[in-house]
Structure 1
Amino acid sequence: MTNDRRFADMLHHRGQRLGQGDPVAPPLVSATTYHLAGLEGAAFKYGRMAMPTWEEVEEQLAILEGAPVVGFPSGMAAISAALFATLSAGDTVILPEDGYYTTRLLADRFLAGFGVKARYVATTAMEGADFTGAAVVFLETPSNPGLDVADIAVVARRAHAAGARLIVDNTTMTALLQRPLDLGADLVVAADTKAPGGHSDVLYGHVAGRDAGVMARVAEWRKLAGVVPGAFEAWLLHRGLETLEVRLSRMCASAMVVAERLSAHPRVRAVRYPGLAGDPSYKVAQAQMSDFGFLISFELEGEAEAEAFLDRCRYLTQTTSFGGTHSAGERRARWGDAVAPGFIRLSVGVEPVEALWSALAEALDA
C-alpha cells in the first residue's frame, strides 16, 4: 500500500487544472440551479443531474478504483443502483447468505415484488456454487460480519461462464486494499461511510465499473430515482479520502497486533482475521489483498459476557458501523445475524495500539 501511486495521484488530481490563485481544496458548491442562457456548453444544468463537488469526489474515487465512478448518498443507495441497473423481471440474483443483511432485505422486500428471484449462497461456497440461470452474482468479501473470504477471480470466471455479471461489495477493504475490477468483477459497490469517510460523520457510497453501458444505466438510475448525494457530504468525503491511506496503514497494523493477542487470550475463542496465518481465509486473502483490513471477529462465552466486555472497555464505542477513527465493537447477534450470542465484531481505529490493547485486555480480564 505504501508504494501505491494511485493515492498520490488522487491527492494531486486537481493539480494540473489549478490556475493562479485557485483553491487547492475543491470548493463546496451546493447550487441546485445554474445559469442557462442556452444548453450548449453548460457543464451543469440542475442539481439532481450533477454538481461540481460530486464530480471532484467521483474523480478521486475513480483514480483509486481505476474505473469510472457514480456517487450516491449511502452504501445501500449504491447497492440498490447496481442491482436495479443490472436486473430485470424474471432474472435470478445470487446473494451471500452471510453478508450484509440489508442487501438481503432489499431482495426479499422489493426485488421479489418486481419479479426478481434471489438465491442465497454462503461466501465460502461461492467459488463452487452453481450459477446456472443467474443474471447477477453479488459477492461480499470479506463477508460482514463473519470475515469469510472468496477468491474473486474464480467467482468472476464462473459467473461469466454462466452468463452472469459479478458485483462485488468492497466496503470492508476499500479500493486501496483490494481491487475487484482487476480480478474480473463487472461492478464494485462500496459504502464510503466507513473507512473512506473515516470520521463517522458522513453517509456516502459509490458504484465503479468499466462497462460504459452499465455505468450509464447506474447514472440514469441516480438521476431518475433522485438518489443523489449532497454537496456537503461529498466535500466531507473528500476530506476523509485525503488521509485514507495513512489511517488504513495504522488500522491494519494495529488490527494484526490485536488479532494475534486476542487469539492467545484464554477467554476469547473463534478469532477471525484474514491476516492470521491460521485463519481459513489467509491463503486467498494474501493473494488478492494488499493488506488484511481493520475488522476482527471473535466470540466470548455468551451474550452477558460480550455485553459486559463492551460496557467495560473504555476505548471502544458501541456502534453499528465500522471504519472510523475510534475503535468500535458490537455484538452482532442483536441484529439477527446468524452468529453466536457472544460474537463480537471489532473495528480497529487509529488509537495507539498499546493503549488500545491495554483497554481491551482490562475489559476481558475484569
Structure 2
Amino acid sequence: MTDKTSAISRLLHHRSQGLSKGEAVSLPIHATSVFHLPGEPDGSHFYARNGNPTVEAVEAEIGILEGADVVCFPSGMAAIASVFYSVLRPGDTVLVPSDGYYNVRNLLNAQFAPMGVTMRTCPTADMAEADMTGCRLVQIETPANPGLAVCDIARVAERAKAAGALVMADNTTATPLCQRPLDLGADVCVLSDTKAMAGHSDVMCGHVATRNADLFDAVKTWRRLAGAIVGPFDAYLLHRGLETLEVRLGRMNANALAVAEAVLGHKAVSAVHYPGLGNDPFHQVAKRQMNGFGPIVSFTLASQANADRFIAGCPLLSPATSFGGVHSSAERRARWGDEVPDGFVRFAAGIEPTGDLVAAVTQALDALS
C-alpha cells in the first residue's frame, strides 16, 4: 500500500499483510490468562494483565487511525483515569471543561482533590483563551458532551505548551475519522470506544493515543499495575466495529445534520446545537478542524414533560444514555445533573435511512403542539 492509502484501507488489510499460508484471515480471539512460559520471562506474553495478542492487534488498528501508539482500556473513563494517574501529582493543577462529561469532574473531585490536586474549570467556548498559568494538564472535550461547544484545539495546544502544560483531548464525540487532535498539537487523545468506534452498543472499551513515548510508557505501566485490562472478547467486538466505522459514521453524521436542519425553526424547539449547521456559533472553528461533525444533535424543548413525550413518542428512538450506536437514541440530559434546561434533549443519530429518521423526529415534534 502507498502512503496515500486511507487509514481505513490500511486498517482493513493490516492483519492480512503479515499472514502466512493457512492462517485465519479473521482476527482470532486469544481466550487465555496464561501463556506457555518455560525458562525466563521473555516478551509481553507471560500473563494476560501484561498483554494479549487479540488486544494488541486492536491497539495496532486504532493506532493506524490515530497515527500514534495506543493503549486500550475497559472503558473511556478508565482511559481518562490512566492519564490523570500517570501525570498528576500532589500540588498539581488540572484545567478541565465545565461543560464536558460530568464524570471527569466527579473523578477529580473524588480521587484527586484529596491527594492535593487542584481542579480548575472553564467553559469549552472559552478554553482557547483560558488562564493556564501553573497547570500541569489541560483537558479538552470538543465538541463537548452534551452541549456541543467547540474549542480551537491548535490554539489551546499552543497556549498550554507556552504555560508548560500537557494537553489531553477527549475525542469521543468526533472519533479520529472526523478530528485528529494529535495533529493539531494535543499530547494525548482519549476516547470512549464504547460509542462510535465499537458502534453496536454491546461492549465497553476505551483507549489512550499518544506520540509521546514517555507518556505512553507511563500509561501502559499504570494499566498493568492497576489491572485495567480489556478482555479478548471485548477487544474482538471493538475490532469488528472498527471495520465498519467509516460506513456507519458517514450515515450517522448525515443523519445528524439532516435532523438538525429539520428541527431548526420547528415551533416546538427553542434552540438547536450542532456544529455542522452554518448558523451554529462554533461552525467556523469546527469546519477548520473537523472532517464531519459527529452523530450528536442537541436541542431544547419547552419542558421536561415535552422532552419525555418526544422521546417516548418517536418510534425510531431508544431512550438510552449513550451515543454512537447503530440505533438512534435520545435522552433528557438534566436528569444526570448537567447544567442544561429541563427540556434539553441529546439526540444521537444511528444508521436508519435518513428519510425515515427525519420523518419520525418531525412527527414526534408535531405531536407536542
TM-score by length of 1: 0.98
2:86 is paired with a residue whose SS is helix
Match of 2:176, SS state, is helix
**Partner letter of residue 271 of structure 1?**
V
User: Which letter does structure 1 place at the counterpart of 2:29?
Assistant: L
Q: How does 1:234-313 map to 2 (within 5 A)?
A: 234-313=235-314
Aligned residues of 2:262 and 2:362 also touching (Cα < 8 A)? no
CA–CA separation in structure 1 for the residues paired with 2:335 and 2:6 = 41
Post-superposition CA distance 1:223-277 (Å, at most 9, x none): 0001111110000000000000000111111111111111031111210110100
Q: Match of 1:207, SS? A: strand
Distance 2:330 2:306 in 1: 13
RMSD: 1.0
Give the total of aligned pairs: 364
Does the residue aligned with 1:176 lie in a helix, a strand or coil?
coil
Q: Distance in 1 between matches of 2:230 and 2:58?
A: 11
CA distance in 2, matches of 1:233, 1:143: 27
Is the contact made by 1:276 and 1:282 (CA closer than 8 Å) also made in structure 2?
A: yes
Give the superposition deviation at 1:31.
Answer: 0.7
Distance 2:122 2:134 in 1: 15
In structure 2, distance between residues paired with 1:39 and 1:97: 50
Counterpart position of 1:199: 200
Distance 2:143 2:5 in 1: 22
Q: Quote the residue 1:333 is aligned against.
A: 334
Matched, 1:119 2:115: no
What do residues 262-301 of structure 1 show as CA deviations (whole Å, max 9, x unaligned)? 1031111210110100001100000000111110000000
* Aligned mates of 1:78, 1:39 — CA distance in 2: 31
Name the counterpart of 2:223: 222
2:230 maps to 1:232? no
Cα deviation for residue 43 of structure 1 reads 4.3
Separation in 2 of the partners of 1:4 and 1:133? 42
Query: Cα offset for 1:115?
Result: 1.1
1:177 aligns to 2:156 (yes or no): no
Q: Which residue of 2 aligns with 1:38?
A: 39
CA distance in structure 2 between the aligned counterparts of 1:302 and 1:43, rounded to whole angstroms: 55
Q: What's the counterpart of residue 348 of structure 2? A: 347
Q: Is the 8 A contact 2:44 2:50 kept in 1?
A: no
* 2:128 aligned with 1:142: no
Paired letter, 1:277: G
Does the alignment pair 1:15 with 2:19? no
What SS does the aligned partner of 2:345 have? Answer: strand
Aligned residue identity for 1:183: L
Q: Indicate yes or no: 2:100 matched with 1:99.
A: yes
Partner of 1:365: 366
Question: Shift in Å at residue 42 of structure 1?
Answer: 4.0
Identity %: 52
- Show CA shifts across 1:286-345 (max 9, x none): 000011111000000010111011111110000011000000000000000000000000
Query: In 2, Cα distance between the equivalents of 1:342 and 1:209?
Result: 38
The verdict on how the C-alpha distance between 1:40 and 1:336 changes in structure 2, with shifts beyond 3 A counting, is closer
Q: Which AA in structure 2 matches 1:99?
A: G
**Counterparts in 2 of 1:42 and 1:94: CA distance versus 1, 3 Å:** closer
- What residue identity is the alignment partner of 1:184? G
Structure 1 unmatched runs, 5+: none
The question of whether the paired residues in 2 share the 8 Å contact of 1:36 and 1:42 is answered with no
The residue number in structure 1 matching 2:65 is 64
Query: What is the deviation of 1:39?
Result: 3.1
**5+ residue gaps in structure 2?**
none
Q: Secondary structure, in 3 states, of the residue corresponding to 1:326? A: coil
Q: Where in structure 2 are the equivalents of 1:72-91 lying within 5 Å?
A: 72-91=73-92
> 1:5 aligns to what?
6
Aligned equivalents of 1:362 and 1:112: distance in 2? 47
Cα gap change, 1:97 to 1:43, in 2 (>3 Å)? closer
CA contact (8 A) 2:54 2:232 kept: yes
Verify: 1:317 aligned to 2:318, yes or no. yes
